Each structure stands twice: as structure tokens, then as C-alpha cells.
Structure 1
């Protein structure tokens, strides 16, 4: 009887979990008649846990305002296909869609008056729970990050954002690319910071999902000890990818047993072995360059032996390698001593609310620099012949780091939130 009762409990829990992973359909249009099977959203539809969905973080959208707005839905961990119908019957629009901690999916999509366009993408949602009492040990500064809560949050931004309808449905059959790294990879919630991990989803169709687990200040060993790799291993499946980029913070470890060819390569091997044990594909990435030049105006390597150690492990373990260090160095050299400041967070005091001091950071990317670096990663994926490059969006035309996009043509819609505190790590 005890075994039967236990089995019934397991089945009940499983049934509840499946029931929670449901499809949501929301009607944001101005039509009085609600679309069949949809939930009508009005300015009074504000998020609360009892309802489980609604406008969040900022004032509700009234259907006319050009200010950015956020919409959240409580969903379990997993991948979700999002279908948005963008546009308005009454006016032209220009809409950018980001998700969770400012992950970019749809960029400056324009519609004419009366025109509606349908776009889809796949987004990963997670929280800190692993199993039982196990949790990811996040930092204090992460506790309010949209990446780590129980909600799936979408940001609708742009010159004139217009949303007609929204569908969120669970998906299981797409390859997921899990990102491990530091402040050069992480999803930043707030302006003016950016990293390549939050930009790269924009270049893929809904046939690929990017799950960015990177965090500022982490090294290979602290990523592991903080249960972040364990969280990924609790979700990763056969055919998924594990991209690993470390080096910035690892090189500052000076205690006995540390070093590029000691603890660092040992920890990289853990990432490789764990991924392969799950049938996933490990990929190593050399660290992005810091902005530093010699007297002749050429970029200087500040990572010591660490890029070479990564290359050595990749060759020894027969793991694909993305040569991001070389490509970002090429980016800096192409833009020169002055122009390369645009790649990083260099802004005079007063550029952002509460910013009393000049930003002068040569390690952390601006949103423009993050965007360009994400393109470098895509090119690295293509060179490594990863299968996921078959699912690049049709408007991705390739990229040469020696010929970067002009800063003046980069159009980024600022989110309402800024952060004056510099990210951890350097």
C-alpha cells in the first residue's frame, strides 16, 4: 500500500508539473471582440502571483504610449517558443523585443499603418532551484535579476512599440546552447552594460535556444563551486551545447596550485567531461580582449598564458574552439585607439541618471561592443562548423571583425533601468 501511495504521489506531482507547463495566449489589440482562446489584456491587467501574468516593473501599456513596457508570466523552468504579432491597425510602429535580463530577440521591427508582422523566438527561463534543497549560490547583486525568478518577463521597447498578440508555449525539441562565463558573457539587466551572451539570441531563429548562465566576476572554479554547472547539468540534454569562456578572472588567482596550466585546465576538463556525460557538445571560447594598446597603437594581450591554455585543452580533448580573443583584438585594432572606446563602457559623467563620475572601463562592453562581439562568436561557430549555424536568421549576412559595423548605424533602445555600479571582475 505504501508503494502504491508513493506512486500515486509521484504521478500527482508529475501531472501538476505538466499542467503548469501550459500554453498562454494574450490579446493586446484594441478590438472589442477577444480572439478565440486568448486572454484579453487591458491596462488594468497588472501582474500578481495569484493571477500569474500581467504588466510588470513599469506602468501598464495603454495601447498608445511610446514608452517601453514589460509583461510577465509565471512559468516553470524550461524553453518556451514565443510568438508575437507586432504592429497596429491605426498607426506605424517600430518595436524591439527583449526577454528576461535584456536578452535581445527582435530588433527595430518596423510596420506600416494597418500592417501586422508575426515573429517567433525561443527563450529559456530558469530559477535558482536545482533539486531537493540544492540551489544555485547567486550573489547578492543577482537576487533581483530577472534571469533568476519564477517569471518569464518580456520587454517591448522601440520608438513606437506596438503589440497585437502574444503566445507563449513550452518546447522540448530544440537544441539549447548553455553559456558559461563571466562579465563579458553575462546578461545585464541595466544600462549601459552589455555582453555578447545577451545579444547572440537575436541572430538565431526559434529552432535554437540560448540559455545564458554567465555572471560577473566568476572564474571557471567559482562557476562550478557555486552550483551553476550543476544547474545546467540538471537541464541539459543530448545534442545541446555548452559554451565555456573564462580567463579574465582566473588569471588573477595567485594561490598555490593555480595557473593557466594547473587549476585552470583542470577545471576546463570538468566542463568538458560533464557535458559529454550528458551527450552534449562542449565548446571552448578564448577570452575577449581588454582594450589596451602599445606605443604603435596595436592591441596588447593582457591574458598571459590563458588563451594558449584554452587552445591546448581544445586540441588535446578534440573540442571545437571559438577564437574570440583573436577576433575581438582584430575589432579593437580596426577601430583604433580612440574608436575602440565605443566598444567598451566609456561615457562622460551625467550620461545616465545618477552617474556622477565618468565611465572609463576597458574590460566591459557597451551594448554596441557586445553586439559586435556576439557577431564574432557567430563567426566562430561557423568556422567550428557547429550544426546550430544552420538556424541563423535570414537577415544575418556574416561579419568581418576587421570591418566592424559603424557605431553611428547601431540603434539601441535604452531600457528604463540603469546601474552605476561597475560589474564584478575586470
Structure 2
């Protein structure tokens, strides 16, 4: 997979510090939560707000963000909503100031007189829409349910964020959409609160978190691609975390403060937990006890806990088989799921099958293995057998989807475009397409 490199001028325009927290609207009036935007240089359709190429500002509360700019186009004609649009030869961000919650987001893509090709991501590189093309005069309307989260728990408490998280789009006071691809054409955008949507909360580590920077990725940021309207993913995972540090940084407290009956909590830990060496640590001690705590607290709130065993590492034996590098932690997770009578998605087993099907050499293409110079500032090769690139993260998200189906979770009714997937038959890399987001990093994600 050849990474797409963007000019350093684009990064210098503000993308390197793109996650600075937005300030809430200062008006005494209630903060608006419903929007209908008409993009382009023509007249706005009735009931819509004309955007043109407006840059984001806290005062305006919406606009094109992080130094990205667009070209506004008007094709003319009677259909005011689809006659005009914005586009760019580079990825561009559009942000809207919104309070915490779930929102139904509808985008209209296309060009009345030209072809378009758009990939859509949200916040910290959550994949929403794979590359979607339209012919001249054709338009595509897609709807998603998205979560906006805040570190605030109550008036006195907040999540203890790591320094790296202060720069993340996931934790600011905005909903940000990234329009990418060869020729993105955005005609319209609508945002409506979705208070009754089902929320899928994710608790985990660097294999789950929304990774901000290319070429790193995790399955949690690919999962939104497979959920239709009515279900939103709220990814509270963070690199380097254990069950214990998720608790001590008040992340479980945060999740429980906003979890509603019928919501889900997907729990995947183990990679970092196995490195804790205290007298009360270990798979059958603190890990098991804390995992039970997560399950029971979620149930008490009316939520639905789902336990996931850890993703395997790429640790091949000379015979081409994956060797277990996770100790007893997968077995402990399986036991807790059985004893607590909750759903189990065995990612250890599925990713073992996945990597062995790819083989020792081809599986490298699912991980962060890149020669020096593949990304800006990368003077040394990257060779990481734990963390995935976008292709690998996507394949593991497909495993999670199969786990949702196999457990017959009510969440399955929200799945869309999810044909059966067998990890023994991975999607071919030649069929995979990903357009890099503008920001990249060479530093390995945090770990204990």
C-alpha cells in the first residue's frame, strides 16, 4: 500500500495542531444543535444556510477548519440545493460547534455537471464512507449517526486526559467531518440531534482507539463504517491503557454518566495489562476482578456489556503459525464472559486465523511496516507487529461485525453493507483503497 503524501504547506497551515479545543458558543441564547447547510457560491435552498467557503470561527460556530480551504462552484439551474457545491484538490475539514450527544448527520455529494469521488471520515479519522463516486448529474445522500463526546463528567470532574489527547478532535467541542478522495464534492449537510439513538461505547487500548495520525489505525475507528442510522460509536479507548488506568483516569465513570439503558459497552484489554507485575496483578487476579467490575457496573446502568479478547500480535513461529504472546489473558476474558453470561467476541482467535491466512509476509501489509521516508519526518523504518494500519484495522472491524452477528446482539439490526466475512479469507489488499488524512506521526502509540 503506497501512502498518499500531502504538501508540508498544508500541514503548516494549521493541521499539526488541529485538535485544539473549541470554545462553546458565548451567546446567551441556547446553543443551536440543528443545522441545514447549502454549500457553494449559488443562492441557498429555502430553509438552508449558505456556507460558501467560510472559515471556522467560534463566533460563527461552523466553517472550514484547520487551515483547509475549498473552491465554491455554482453550476446554475433550478435546483438550488444541488446546483452548487464545494470541492478541493486536498482533504478538507468542516466543523460545527455542538454539545455532547448523538446526532443524525446527512451529507449530499455530487456535481450537476461533473464526476465526483469522495471518502468521508469524522473526528479523529473515524471511517464513515468508503470511496463513493458519482457520474455527472448524479447525487448520493448518505446518513450516519455520530457521537460528540466531552471529557466533562459533571461540574467538578473530568476525564484525566493524556497530553496527546489534548490535541485530538475526539475531545473538542465540535463535530468535524473530513472530506477526502480524488474529487470530493459536497453539496449539502444536515445535522439533527438523535437523543434516542443507541450508543456503542468502546473501552480499550491502542488496538481500539481512534488513532489520529497516519499510518496508525485501530478497529474502533473503522466500526462506524458498518453501522447505519440509529447507532453511534463513542470510542473512549486510549493508547497505553489497562483496565486499571481506564478506571483511574475516570473513563468508566464518564461512560456510565452518559450510558442509557440499551446502550452497549465493548471492552477489550490485555496488551498492557499483561505488563503489570504487582503482587495483585495478572490475568486471574486484578484483570479478572476489574473485568467483572466493568460488566456489573454496565449491567446496573441497564447497559449491555460485550467482552472482546485481545487482538493477537503478529508473532509467527517458524512453521507459519501465530504463537500466543498474550499469556492467560484471553482465557481469563473468556471465563469472565461465560460466568457473567455476557456476549464474547473472540478477537484473539479470529485475528490468529486472519494473520495465518495472510501468511508471515503478506500480513506485514496489515501492520505499521513502512520503509524510511514513507511519511514526513520518518528517517527510520517503521516495523510494529502490534499496531495496525488502516487496512489491518478495517479487517479486524469486519471480525467484530461477525462477532455482533454471531452473538445475535440487538445491535445487529443497525448493521449495513456487511456481507459475511471469514477471517480465513481476508479481503485482498489489491481491493483496498484508503486516502490518507493530512497528519502523520512516526512515534509509536503509547504503551505501558
Structure 2 length-normalised TM? 0.89
1:90 CA drift (Å): 2.3
Deviation digits for residues 46-84 of structure 1 (CA, Å, limit 9, x no counterpart): 111111111001322113422110001110000011000
- Corresponding residue of 1:422: 444
Structure 1 residue ranges, 4+ long, deviating more than 4 angstroms after superposition: none
1:72-126 Cα deviation digits (max 9, x unpaired):
1110000011000011112101111110110011111111111111100011001
For residues 28 and 333 of structure 2, what CA distance do their matches in structure 1 show? 40
Q: Is the 8 A contact 1:241 1:283 kept in 2?
A: yes
Matching residue of 1:6: none
Whether contact under 8 Å (1:68, 1:415) holds in the other structure is yes
Inter-CA distance 308–173: structure 2 relative to 1 (3 Å threshold):
same
- How far apart in 2 are the matches of 1:37 and 1:60? 25
Alignment partner, residue 149 of structure 2: 126
User: Residue 23 of structure 1 aligns with which residue?
Assistant: 34
The 5 Å alignment of 1:12-411 reads 19-20=30-31, 22-30=33-41, 32-43=42-53, 45-62=54-71, 63-393=86-416, 395-411=417-433
List runs of 5+ in structure 1 lacking aligned partners. 1-15
**Structure 2 SS opposite 1:96:** strand
Partner Cα separation in structure 2 for residue 386 and residue 52 of structure 1: 38
- The answer for the alignment partner of 1:3 in structure 2 is none
Asked if structure 2 preserves the Cα contact closer than 8 Å seen for 1:21 and 1:170, the reply is no
- Secondary structure at the aligned position of 1:134 is classed as coil
SS in 2 for 1:382: helix
- Output the CA distance in 2 between the equivalents of 1:26 and 1:144: 27
Q: Which runs of 5+ in 2 are unaligned?
A: 1-26, 72-85
CA distance in 2, matches of 1:187, 1:345: 15
Q: Distance in 1 between matches of 2:31 and 2:292?
A: 37
Q: Deviations over 1:289-312 (max 9, x none)?
A: 000011211001100000000000
Do the aligned partners of residues 77 and 65 (structure 1) sit closer, same or farther apart at CA in structure 2, a change above 3 Å counting?
A: same
Shift of 1:181: 0.2
Aligned to 1:20, the other structure's residue is in SS state: coil
SS at match of 1:264: helix
- 1:278 deviates by 0.9
Secondary structure of the structure 1 residue equivalent to 2:153: strand
Kindly indicate whether the alpha-carbon contact (under 8 Å) linking 2:43 and 2:50 is maintained by their aligned counterparts in 1.
no
Report SS of the residue matched to 2:332.
Answer: helix
Structure 1 vs Structure 2 CA RMSD: 1.3
3-state SS in 2 of match to 1:143: helix
Displacement of 1:21 in angstroms is: 5.0
Is the Cα–Cα contact under 8 Å of residues 33 and 99 in structure 2 kept in the other structure?
no
Q: 1:27 to 1:46 in 2, by over 3 A?
A: same
Q: Distance in 1 between matches of 2:29 and 2:395?
A: 39
CA distance in 1, matches of 2:87, 2:353: 44
CA distance in 1, matches of 2:179, 2:33: 23
In 1: Cα distance, 2:167 partner to 2:351 partner? 31
Q: TM-score, normalised on structure 1?
A: 0.94
* Change beyond 3 A, Cα 1:410–1:50: same
